[in-house]
Structure formats: C-alpha cells, structure tokens
Amino acid sequence: MADDITTGTTQAAAAADDSGLHNATHGVEIQLRNLTKKYPGQSRAAVSDVTMTIPAGEIVALVGPSGCGKTTTMKLINRLIEPTSGEILIGGEDARKQPADQLRRHVGYVIQQGGLFPHMTIAENVALVPKMLKWAKPRITERVDEMLELVGLDPAQFRDRYPRQLSGGQQQRVGVARALAADPPVLLMDEPFGAVDPITRGRLQDELLHLQEELHKTIVFVTHDFDEAVKLGDRIAVLAEGSKIVQYAEPAEILARPTNDFVRGFIGTGGAMKLLHVTRIADVELGAGVTAQTGDDASTVHTRLSEADEPWAVVLDANSRPVQWATVEDLAGKQGPVSDYGTPITTTISGRADLQAGLEALLGSDTDFVPVTRRRRYIGLVSLNTVQGAIQQLREQAKQHASVAAGEDGA
Amino acid sequence: MSFWEYVRNRQELLWFETYQHASMVLQCLVLATAIGLIIAIITYRSKTASAVATGIASVLFTIPSFALFGLLIPVFGLGVTPSVIALVLYSLLPIVRNAVVGMSNVDPSLVDAARGMGMSRLRVLFKIELPLAWPVILTGIRVSAQLVMGVAAIAAYVSGPGLGDQIFSGLARLGGANAVNSALAGTVGIIILALIFDGFFVLIGRFTTSRGIRG
Ligand SMILES: Nc1ncnc2c1ncn2[C@@H]1O[C@H](COP(=O)(O)OP(=O)(O)OP(=O)(O)O)[C@@H](O)[C@H]1O
Ligand SMILES: [Mg+2]
C-alpha cells in the first residue's frame, strides 16, 4: 500500500484511493474506542476509557489542565505509546494492524519548540519522511522548497541553515513543514505554538488556518490556551484528568452552553466576547437598510426613505460597493443624482471578519451602523442591535444543539 | 654527548619507536572506541546497566598501570598482546562514560519526534542519538588518547613496543652514559606525539561534527 505513494505523484496516489491512511492526502477520520492507558507503576490511568470521533478534515482542539493526559492521548494515536486497552481506527483501519513505523510516516507529528534536529539543516529536517518513504531525490528537493514556501519561509534563504540559526517562530514553521512534507492525512500537534510570543503565535495560528483551508487535514491540536482552541478548533474537547471528555462540541456551543463549572473555568472570563470571536458577521442576521444607486434621483430616494421610515440610505456604486451615506435631511427638497448630497462612507467591514471585529468597527466609527461587504459588495449593515441579536441567536442554537446531541455524547 | 647528538645518532631507532608508539596508541584507541561504543549503546537506555558499565570501567581505571601490566604477564606473556589489552582497558572509561552521558543527554523530545515520524530504533540511534552525542563521545576519545599516550610508555615494562623503551632503559642505567638523554628523548617524543594527536582530534572534531551543533 505504501508503495503507491512512492511511485506516483501525491496527486495520482490521492486520486487512486482516498480512503485508506496510506493513500489519502486529505484528512481521514480518527476513532478512539474505549482507549485506556495505564503507565506501569501508576495507580490511575493517564487515559481512561476515552471514546471519541475526530471527523475527517477537521481541527479538533484538546484542552485540559496539565497532566490530564493530552500528550498521552496523542502518543496513543501515533503509537509512540501502546494502549493498555481499547482501539484506534485511522481512516477506518485499525492502527495496530500495521507496523508502527509505517503508520507514523503517514501521521504528521509536531511537538513544542518544533523538535527540529539541530545537527541537520532545515532542508534535511523537512526531507526526512519523504526520504524514508523512498521518494526520488529531485522530487524531495522540489518538495522541500514547496513546503518551506507553504509555511512562509524563503527556501533560498533558509534551506541550508541549521535550526539554531532560526527564531523560535521560524523553527515552529519548519516543524509544521516537516510534518506536512509527505502529505499525511493526519496531523498531530502537541502544543506546537506554546513556546513563542503571543504576536508570533497569533500569526502562526492564522497561517495554520490558512493552510488548512487548502489542505483539509485531520488535525488534533493540543493546547493549554482556550482562546487558541476557540480560534483554531472546528471542535473543542475539554478534557479532565484521565483524558475524560467533559464537553466535546463546536466552540460556539461550548462558549454559549458550557456543560459545567469545569468547562466554565476553562472559558474564563469574557465568554461572551469569545463568542463574538467565533462568529462571522456574514453568518448573522444583518440589517438590510435602504440602498440607492449613485445615479438615483435624490427626490425618489427621499420618498423611499420617508416611506420606509428610515433616517438614511446607503449609496452603492455601479459595482455595488457602499460609497456614501445619504440622510433624509440631506436629500429634503433636492433634485439630481443622490451622490451629489451624500457623505462618504469611511468604515466598512468584511463579512468574513468576526463579530468582535464588527463590534470594534462600530465603536471606532461615528455612525451607529457599519456597512458589511462580501468581496467588496454590500450585503447589509451591522449595528449594536445586530450583535446583541446574534448572541441571543447563538444561545438559542446552542440550546437546540445540546438537546439533540445530549443522547450521543453524554460522556 | 649532548641531547641533540644523542637524538641525531639514534635517529632511526627513535623514529621507529615513535612510529610504533603512535601506531599502538592509535590502534588501541580504535579498538577501545569500538568496544566502548558498543557497551554504551547496549547500556545507555537503562540507568542501572549504564551505571554498572561505567562502574566496571572505573574499577579497571583505578588499577595502577604497573600492577595491571604485571597481572597480564602470567596470562598473556610479554610483548604486544598484554600491552594492547592494558591500553584498551584503560581507555575504556572515558569513552564509555562520555558515550553514555552524551547519548542519555539527547533531548528525549527529539527522540520522540524522530520515533513519531516513523524512524526505527536503529535509525534513531544512528541518525539522531549518535550524531548528537558525537562531540561528547569524541571528547572522551581525546581524553583517552592523552591518557593512553603516557600509559603506553609503561608497556615497555612488558617488552611492549614504543618510546617507553627509551625511558625504561634510561632509568635502568641511571648515572651511566646517555641515561638522561635516553629518558629525555622518550619523554619528549611522547609529549610531541600527544600534542600531534590532540591537534588531530581537533581536526576530526571539525570535520565530523555538524555545523548545527558545533560550539
Ligand atoms: N512515561 C510516563 N511514565 C509514567 N507516567 C507518565 C508518563 N508520561 C506521562 N505520565 C503521567 O501521565 C499523566 C498524563 O500525562 P500527559 O503527559 O499525557 O499530560 P498532559 O495532559 O500532556 O500534560 P501537559 O499539559 O502538562 O503537557 C500525568 O499524570 C503524567 O505524570
Ligand atoms: Mg503534554
């Protein structure tokens, strides 16, 4: 099976069969079934009867207090540690039915501080797994450069450097590049950004999300930092001692409806603010507002405003971009194109931004509304009312979700 | 006869004995390095095993060299064999100790990373642990070289080869003609050899240690 990958190009191999671990490049599902690990000489299991499904192509963040068994859970998945009992299915295949070394070559592993080998150059580090998979030399060289570019490092500049000649953040990037080099469907990341400063960390997180948009790997991401989990996770598993799953749900649901005080403790203060962070503006109900085209006659627009009982209209140009505000007063008794009477719109916000950014835009603007755009076209207005409505809506949704899901993961 | 005249007169013999000395030391080091590394590789993963190995090497190390040579005569007779055995035993301690320390000091998270990407135990050993421990191992070999250089002189006591012959015959004839010259020639020869070996190890270190971990 592994040979398919060594002969064809990655794409060809992926096209041949997308299901098995060895052939897939997009993520595959991981299932943990009643997984238990007891270290010799310890009374309590480090991982105790954990059952969990990690959906294909998603980022699942594991958060929990120090020593609760996060690292152990990760090492069970790539078999650095053998379970005491239970089983692991990766892409539907029993992880223990194949040689551990073979399995690991198809499961990327990133640890804190990158885990780069200091005696090897950056290129040698990145090339390790492709080499073990016996890729042809030219292909490896090409792949190394491709991976370095992918993580935002100029290959010409970094290829031949040694890890110690890189900053912590750069090393971390190489760590990710190395883990992705052989295009594994699964990526395990154990506090990968724990040791870098908050600004670099934020940037690395953004990059990871960006990569994931293209790659659709199945990523298990361990972190201490709940905000990081919220930002990166498609789902978050909040773990207690023994890797016991206290809550496993989408970030919005955990934020809106934490199951108990333990989870609440993790969310910390400002849960509502975090909720704003996980919601895109385009996904909430926006105010429609009255719109007008630049060429529309001022008097017609005035009439429409009076009829709708709105104080002003958003004036859009030929490409539907919001360009001006035109108030009822401005337009009263005026003739000619409406654009002669409007005032320029200074602040707009992208629908891809989160609600928190929307809130900030509102606070920074001197209007009570901020026009929202998608691909620069007007899609609606955001106001304090919109934000408030959105939070209420999220709470409701979470409630419904919870009552539906109550049966299946009451763990 | 002045020291220089003595050296000039016996040029050929001195060259020969110097060559023998260097050759013996070098061969013993190669042998000791091979044995030492094997011992270290077998034991470094277990604290107990590596402690036992280092302990035995330490005990051997504390036996005075004369006594060790003396003990070897009844078993191996005189000549090259007992000399080589004694020298190898002496040089084991620094090599084994440094190899064990060097390899167990390799950051365990690096070993995890290596295993986690699918390297076999053997590959981790040869690609990660040994290269990372290499500077420390090499220091052990270098210390051994200095040590064995001196001890090798005593090999003359069991009729072993090398510059020790000059020293022993000089000391035996103390007061006689050229006695001091002879002892001095042996001693100076050994010192020069030791310096050359040390320089040699510095060079080896340069060429065999990755730039990524060079100090
Ligand atoms: N090799 C080991 N031998 C014995 N016990 C271990 C071993 N590794 C971990 N443990 C124990 O297992 C438990 C879980 O450890 P683990 O490293 O999985 O925690 P973690 O959630 O990753 O913690 P952290 O957030 O601090 O990294 C801890 O109580 C730890 O002491
Ligand atoms: Mg951990």
- pLDDT given for residue B32 in this prediction: 96
Q: What would the pLDDT profile of B125-171 be if each residue is shown by its tens digit? A: 999 999 999 999 999 999 999 999 989 998 888 888 889 989 998 98
Ligand nearest to the CA of A243: 1
Quick one: CA torsion of A354, A355, A356, A359, rounded to 10 degrees?
130
Q: What would the pLDDT profile of A238-268 be if each residue is shown by its tens digit? A: 999 999 999 999 988 888 888 999 998 888 7
* Residue B149 falls inside a structural domain: yes
CA-proximal residue: ligand 1, atom 9 (nearest): A72
Going from N- to C-terminal start, the domains of chain A cover: 24-279, 282-388
Ligand 2 centroid distance, CA of A199 (Å): 22
Element (H, E) at A368: none
- CB neighbour list of residue A234: distance below 8 Å, 6 or more residues apart: A55, A58, A59, A60, A250
SS3 of A85-139: EEEEEECCEEHHHCCHHHHHCCEEEECCCCCCCCCCCHHHHHHHHHHHCCCCHHH
User: What's B121's domain CATH number?
Assistant: 1.10.3720.10
Which pairs with CB-CB distance under 8 Å and at least 24 residues apart come from B70-75?
A: B72/B158, B73/B158
DSSP β-bridge partners for residue A33: A87
| CA distance linking residue A55 with residue A88, whole number of Å | 14
Task: Tell me which fold the domain A282-388 belongs to.
Answer: CBS-domain (3.10.580)
Task: Mutation target for A interface from B106, B110, B117, B124: give the one with most A CBs within 10 A.
Answer: B117
Instruction: Name the band, by pLDDT with cuts 50, 70 and 90, for residue A17.
Output: very low
Number of structural domains, chain B? Answer: 1
- CB neighbour list of residue B158: distance below 8 Å, 6 or more residues apart: B69, B72, B73, B78, B79, B82, B83, B86
Number of other residues whose CB lies within 10 A of the CB of residue B50: 22
Q: What would the pLDDT profile of A162-210 be if each residue is shown by its tens digit? A: 999 999 889 999 999 999 999 999 999 999 988 888 888 888 888 888 8
Which residues crowd ion ligand 2, with CB under 5 Å? A 71
- Rg value, chain B, Cα: 20
Average pLDDT on A83-88 reads 94
In three-state secondary structure terms, A174 is helix
Min Cα distance A239 → chain B (Å) is 23
- pLDDT given for residue A132 in this prediction: 94
Kindly give the interhelix angle for B80-104 and B130-154, rounded to the nearest 10 degrees.
150
Domain spanning A24-279: CATH 3.40.50.300? yes
| CA distance linking residue A144 with residue A174, whole number of Å | 10
Instruction: Name the band, by pLDDT with cuts 50, 70 and 90, for residue A7.
Output: very low
Q: Who has greater pLDDT, A383 or A121?
A: A121
CA A279-A239-A90 angle, 5° bins: 85
Place of tokens 């191992």: B137
* Residue B15 falls inside a structural domain: yes
Which range of residues forms the domain containing residue B15? Answer: 11-208
Place of tokens 């809550």: A247
| CA distance linking residue A337 with residue A301, whole number of Å | 10
Average pLDDT on A107-113 reads 90
Min Cα distance B128 → chain A (Å) is 7
Q: Which residues of A touch B (CB under 8 A)?
A: 75, 78, 80, 100-105, 107-109, 111-113, 115, 117-121, 128-129, 132, 162-164, 178-179, 188
Q: Which residues of B touch A (CB under 8 A)?
A: 109-110, 112-120, 123, 128, 131-132, 210-213
* Residue B160 falls inside a structural domain: yes
Is the CB of residue A314 less than 8 Å from the CB of residue A290? yes
- pLDDT given for residue B49 in this prediction: 92
Return left, alpha or beta for A291; rule: phi > 0 is left, psi -120 to 50 is alpha, else beta: beta
Instruction: Name the band, by pLDDT with cuts 50, 70 and 90, for residue A332.
Output: confident
| CA distance linking residue A411 with residue A404, whole number of Å | 14
* Residue B196 falls inside a structural domain: yes
C-alpha closest to that of B139 among B87, B95, B203? B95
Ligand nearest to the CA of A241: 1
Tokens at residue A397, please?
A: 């949704």
Number of other residues whose CB lies within 10 A of the CB of residue A309: 8
* Residue B66 falls inside a structural domain: yes
Return left, alpha or beta for A191; rule: phi > 0 is left, psi -120 to 50 is alpha, else beta: left
How many helices, marked H, and strands, marked E, lie in chain A?
A: 17, 17
Q: What would the pLDDT profile of A127-160 be if each residue is shown by its tens digit? A: 999 999 999 999 999 999 999 998 889 999 999 9
Is the CB of residue A373 less than 8 Å from the CB of residue A379? yes
Task: Please count the CA atoms within 13 angstroms of the CA of A186 that sit on its side-chain side.
Answer: 30
Q: Is the CB of A62 under 6 A from ligand 1?
A: no
Q: What would the pLDDT profile of A114-135 be if each residue is shown by its tens digit? A: 899 999 999 999 999 999 999 9
Tokens at residue B158, please?
A: 């069991």
- CB neighbour list of residue B51: distance below 8 Å, 6 or more residues apart: none
Q: Is the interface score ipTM higher than 0.85?
A: yes
- pLDDT given for residue A11 in this prediction: 41
b (16+ CB within 10 A) / e for A229-251:
bbbbbebbbbbbebbbbbbbbbb
* Residue B28 falls inside a structural domain: yes
CA-proximal residue: ligand 1, atom 8 (nearest): A72
DSSP secondary structure, A38-70, as one string: --TT-SS-SEEEEEEEE-TT-EEEEE--TTSSH
Q: What would the pLDDT profile of B27-48 be if each residue is shown by its tens digit? A: 999 999 999 999 999 999 898 9
C-alpha closest to that of A105 among A32, A170, A178? A178
b (16+ CB within 10 A) / e for B177-186:
ebebbbbbbb
Question: Which residue of chain A comes nearest to B107, CA vs CA?
Answer: A115
Check pLDDT > 60 for residue A373.
yes
- pLDDT given for residue A404 in this prediction: 62
